[in-house]
Structure 1
């Protein structure tokens, strides 16, 4: 997307967030659903196809523009970003990176127009450990038969299509070549979606199990038309997904800090605003410093990704820092609010609950630390 057009879009999005999305948060909290009118508006704004090439009906944003958009978008309640980001950051990315021309032509326009997608990697007994994956895809005639269960799948209760990772070999193969990716329309016979899980926070964002029992798919349902590349497509998509989560955590930390800044200027103690107290100022300053650091890390990782660099390590690092930073910021915000921060009628309590998941999904802090260290040690060994 042209930079001037992008800046105009960003300004329009910022106004939309403050004038439309933030006022709608109360309804989302009460109903656990994004209002249909807002879903329609987000489709009209092109928020489901931000990185989809223009030839397929998308906005054609590069990764830097997408990550900045996610940061802006995440100033509002997390559910608004969540419903769009699986489309944009993960499923559309997988189609762009690994889909056949026919798959791109069929699915990218539909996803850009706002059909909802899910990304099925995690299972009851496995997440990042692909060797433990139990979902299988077995050849049958000219097609495939899928069996298995995927867990904690965002958008599953209302998704139109899911990109499902399944093992096409019983043995765990090098470079995860036993895992392939399958395009699964959610109305396919044999698919059952579990009840939407009750969560700690992030109202309006829904996750559920996807259960597959003898799900029959045509031969061209395998992404890229080739076995053994599903996990590679998934992990490349996860780089974008992890930067998106980092951007979400950073945007939400900014929202929480702005809330604390406003409260600290309004709340008085000992006859003056608590913003005048130096230890309150320290918490505000520390939060500003950490948000800025996260913004810089995300900008750098996204710029490198646009330049064609392998950003697996830097995307993981940015996600870890931003998500842990957000946790520290919302904790300080509750502290600045004092007793009011523990009450559900104030925003600080919601910010605290909403932010906790950022350190878990798209790779926990701990699994990403292991991944970062593994790549560091591998590079060291190669240089020795």
Structure 2
């Protein structure tokens, strides 16, 4: 059993680390405060080929292994978690298109998605349907060679840049169970009636937009039905979300790493009562707990990613990694703030931003409590064995 990275993965991580330290870390706090879109950082990610991470080489992508995929989100989130969101939604959608699209759809979109000339996201959730995706009300009615789409989507990352935007719809609202009537349509940004209406204000996760999208009588050619067959949309989305949970777990590791780094440095530099605060046992205990939580989360994330590379179904493993890593991000962010004391509450220090970014990971790509039930049911059914 090998817990280390191979030479190629280490080199890839080093390249990412240098990019993050050079292009993201120096500007993240100021740009977030200004509400500035990170155009230059996006350009840098394009140059590194990161928009093609999950796209096969035959379509111009990197075809990266899933451990390298996780490394990407870990390193970028160490600098600024919101930037990872730009790449995350794009990657989930690109993976879904590469695995479920028709050959015509792949040829049409994947080469430009791989270079970042096109970007994408994924429109699943609605004002009244988040965890319960079968409860969506967006409907696509067949009209000749087109579908006519009506509905509203919420919390859509990359909405202002996605072209196409995969949209989960009900092509047969009367189907029972509901998932048999759900499909995904690839909606192009210039479609009449397609409108990004509002950017949603957020506690954290700044740097990328999260938007409301309204579709009013949007005509989408039937050729834009993902995979060409109705009724497979929910399965297509859920399979892609397995990669999404890997990227959320890896983002969590990145946030936890930065929280640990900031806390360790502060414990060495900050003095009180005649010496560094790191000499106090209370501080030492928190640092040790942070280190244990961080490294445990990292190993579980790499384990889940490596299982995906083996080609097995790994919804249990990705769920476990996402739970463990997101809880580690929360605890590390809180402990870093406690170690900083009053300065941890100041916007002049990084830990304040980490504290606001961390909670999203326990919610995104399936809430932790829902994922706990998914993991438990898999264990009880004998579909996963922990040994």
TM-score (norm 1): 0.94
Q: Are 1:200 and 2:203 an aligned pair?
A: yes
* Matches for 1:112-261 after TM superposition, within 5 Å: 112-114=114-116, 115-174=118-177, 176-261=179-264
* Matches for 1:188-337 after TM superposition, within 5 Å: 188-337=191-340
Q: Which moved more, 1:201-210 or 1:3-12?
A: 3-12
- The 8 Å contact of residues 38 and 207 in structure 2, kept in 1 or not, is answered as no
Q: Are 1:372 and 2:379 an aligned pair?
A: no
Q: Encode CA deviations 1:95-129: one digit per residue, 9 max, x unaligned.
A: 12211111111111121111221211111111221
When the two chains are superposed, the root-mean-square deviation of aligned CA atoms in Å is: 1.7
Separation (CA, whole Å) in 2 of partners of 1:255 and 1:60: 28
- Per the TM alignment, residue 5 of structure 1 is displaced from its structure 2 partner at its CA by 4.3
Q: Encode CA deviations 1:339-374: one digit per residue, 9 max, x unaligned.
A: 111122221111101111111111111221222233
- Matched with 1:20 is 23
- Per the TM alignment, residue 375 of structure 1 is displaced from its structure 2 partner at its CA by 2.7
- Matched with 2:101 is 99
- The 8 Å contact of residues 29 and 350 in structure 2, kept in 1 or not, is answered as no
Q: Which secondary structure state, in structure 1, belongs to the residue aligned with residue 19 of structure 2?
A: helix
- The 8 Å contact of residues 12 and 68 in structure 2, kept in 1 or not, is answered as no
Q: Which secondary structure state, in structure 2, belongs to the residue aligned with residue 163 of structure 1?
A: strand
Separation (CA, whole Å) in 2 of partners of 1:137 and 1:130: 16
Q: Which secondary structure state, in structure 1, belongs to the residue aligned with residue 122 of structure 2?
A: strand
Q: Are 1:110 and 2:112 an aligned pair?
A: yes
- Matched with 2:71 is 68
Q: Which secondary structure state, in structure 1, belongs to the residue aligned with residue 13 of structure 2?
A: helix
- The 8 Å contact of residues 316 and 368 in structure 1, kept in 2 or not, is answered as yes
Q: Which secondary structure state, in structure 2, belongs to the residue aligned with residue 55 of structure 1?
A: helix
Q: Which secondary structure state, in structure 2, belongs to the residue aligned with residue 213 of structure 1?
A: strand
Quickly say closer, same or farther: Cα 1:14–1:172, change in 2 above 3 A. same
Q: Encode CA deviations 1:9-29: one digit per residue, 9 max, x unaligned.
A: 321111111112111213422
Separation (CA, whole Å) in 2 of partners of 1:205 and 1:282: 36
Separation (CA, whole Å) in 2 of partners of 1:379 and 1:325: 27
The total of aligned residue pairs comes to 378
- Matched with 2:57 is 54
Quickly say closer, same or farther: Cα 1:181–1:197, change in 2 above 3 A. same
Structure 1 unaligned residues grouped into runs of 5+ = none
- Per the TM alignment, residue 303 of structure 1 is displaced from its structure 2 partner at its CA by 1.2
TM-score (norm 2): 0.94
- Matched with 2:83 is 80
- The 8 Å contact of residues 120 and 150 in structure 1, kept in 2 or not, is answered as yes
Separation (CA, whole Å) in 1 of partners of 2:38 and 2:77: 17
